[in-house]
Amino acid sequence: MSLTLLDWFAFACFFCCWVGYTLFARKRAKTTHSLSSILCTLRVEWMNVVMQKENQVADAALIANVERTVTFFASSTILVLAGVITVLANSEEVVTVLHDLPFTPDTNIVNVQFKLAILAMIFVYAFFKFTWAIRQFGFVSVLLGASPGYHQQNIALEQRQQFAKNTAKVIDQSGHEYNNGLRSYYFALAFLAWFLHPALMIAATAVVLVVLYRREYRSRVLRALLATHHLKPGKK
């Protein structure tokens, strides 16, 4: 393998940006309004409303709809993995194509196989995240079925609120795993730029970071969600 110093620097930037943004988003959500924080609040309110209903058919359908979306991404990830493995088995043709492209540095089959192997691992990681999210949404369905009904007068208000909070937390964790899987797709797109040039991958990674940040903390949908509670983007 003959990766240049710029290649290793680009890969380090890519990895640090991915891990760094994940940690940053998790910590910042505790002090700043974001999609994650407002959705957590809305989920608690949703579960409190659920326990005032005679049945939870509509709520179970909503959970099932989200679960189907996550299942779609999990299935798609398997297909993408199959494609990457197929390309890995035909690395010689990839090297030929890259040599014919303008402005791409010289490469060899070992470098291409190394990059394809990492790309495959990214999608394996995404698959694990999506499937864990699917399982957790299944847990939510069980909790909905076990939720205290409005007619059960023997259950105290405090117990109902605690049940709603814990159920919302499970939904929240499911959503986080789903987000981690989607984030893998975003960074995988940035990683593809490495096949053309390491500097291009650095630029693509920076673009992904900007897109993720704007959607999480500066998007119109965030302002609309916060407005439901008379809040504005910024510090809590």
The answer as to whether 82 is a domain residue is: yes
Return per-residue pLDDT of the chain as tens, 236 residues. 678 899 999 999 999 999 999 999 988 888 888 999 899 999 999 988 888 877 778 888 888 899 999 999 999 999 999 999 999 888 888 888 888 777 788 788 888 899 999 999 999 999 999 999 999 999 998 888 888 776 777 777 788 888 889 999 999 999 999 999 999 999 999 999 999 999 999 999 999 999 999 999 999 999 999 999 888 887 76
Residue at 103 is within a domain: yes
Domain for residue 45, yes or no? no
In a domain, 176, yes or no: yes
CA distance 44 to 161: 9
DSSP assignment string, 161-211:
HHHHHHHHHHHHHHHHHHHHHHHHHHHHHHHHGGGT-HHHHHHHHHHHHHH
Residue 103's alpha-carbon distances to 18, 99, 124, 190, 199, in angstroms, are 27, 9, 31, 18, 12
In which domain, by residue range, is 180 found?
Answer: 5-25+56-227
- Burial group, residue 192, by CB count within 10 angstroms (0-12, 13-18, 19+): middle
pLDDT confidence of residue 11: 95
**With contact defined as beta carbons under 8 Å apart, do 178 and 70 qualify?**
yes
The number of folded domains in the chain is: 1
- Asked whether 161 and 48 are in contact (CB, 8 A), the reply is yes
39 within domain boundaries: no
Residue 31, domain member (yes or no): no
Q: Which residues of 51-90 are buried (b: 16+ CB within 10 A; e: fewer)?
A: beeeebeebeeebeebbeebbebbeebeebbeebeebbee
Q: How confident is the model at residue 2, as a pLDDT?
A: 77
Asked whether residue 30 is domain-assigned, the answer is no
- Which own/partner contact pairs does 52-60 have at CB distance under 8 Å and 24+ positions apart? 52/150, 53/150, 54/149, 54/150, 54/151, 56/144, 56/145, 56/147, 59/144, 60/141, 60/144, 60/145
Does some domain include residue 33?
A: no
- What is the pLDDT, as a whole number, of residue 98? 80
Tell me, what's the pLDDT at 126?
Answer: 96
Q: How many CB atoms lie within 10 A of CB 233?
A: 14
